[in-house]
Structure formats: structure tokens, C-alpha cells
Amino acid sequence: MGVVGSVLYVAAHPDDENNSFLPYLTKERMFRTAYLSLTRGDGGQNLIGKEQGVELGLIRTQELLAARLQDGAEQYFSRAYEFGFSKSSDEALRIWDHEKVLSDAVWVIRKFQPDVIITRFPRDARAGHGHHSASAILSVESFNKANDPSVFPEQLSLV
């Protein structure tokens, strides 16, 4: 029987993924599923090695790609660089370059065409820190803009 739905799960970092929810969606419910991690985990902590920055981001990227081979979901990233702890979504969006990361999220929605988008975090302080709340803000904003042909029109010839 064919897949009857698609789900895009959006969060800020590689370690924000829900390791039981994505396999549930792909293997139990048979949904076409993808994870958009806005960052590659470049600015996170590393308790098992000395890699930091870009090197840590490469390791975490490979970890997510290996996880997708196991659970069957697709993996996407944006150009956002994890610069360490962020106190607010405004700070995160400013440092990430709001328009560039918004463009990336709109592109993923246009390409993947999800039926449902799930944000890992809320859009306010309950998210814990700025990267988390910014990921939810960008999710809602990109959903609202993805169907507008006047927004990032250069993408439409590539979809």
C-alpha cells in the first residue's frame, strides 16, 4: 500500500530530533518523513572528543545521516550556524541571517511538500533558549510563505 501522508519535523539542532517519533512515523505509520535541523550542531558541547566548531558539525551531520539510513526518514539542513547558547529568538535570527534561513526552510517545504509540519519547540521562552524558539518561529513563517510565488521566486524554477 502506498504512503498516504508526509510529515516534516523541524528543530534547531541535530540532538533535538526525537529518536522514537521519526521511526514511528516512517516505520509504523508509513508516512514519508523528513527532519529539518536548522543547524548542524557546530556550537554544541562535546564530552567524548576534542572536536569543536565545524569539525563537531561534520560529526553530527554524519550521525543524523546514519540515523536516517536506519529510520527511513529524509534529512535536511539550513545554513544556520550554531554559535553557542542564544538568549532570545531575536538574537538567533539576527546572527543566523533571518532571510537566508527562512529561504532554506521555504525551499525544504516547497521541495518536500509536507502534509503536516511538526515543530519540536514552542515559539516563546518555554522553548528553553533562542535557537529553539527561533526554529518554531521560522517553521510557522516558512509555512505561511511557501505557497506565495512572490516569496523567493527564484526557487520555483528549481522545484
Record the pTM: 0.92
**Per-residue CA distances from 146 to 6, 122, 138, 151 (Å):** 16, 20, 11, 7
Res 1 pLDDT > 90: no
Q: Summarize pLDDT for 59-78 with one digit per residue, the tens.
A: 889 999 999 999 999 999 99
What is the model's pLDDT at position 159? 65
Q: What's the chain's average pLDDT?
A: 91
Would you place residue 151 in the very low, low, confident or very high pLDDT band (cuts 50, 70, 90)? very high
Q: What is the mean pLDDT of residues 139-159?
A: 93
Instruction: Give, for 100, the enclosing helix (H) or strand (E).
Output: helix 98-112
Res 46 pLDDT > 70: no
Res 139 pLDDT > 80: yes
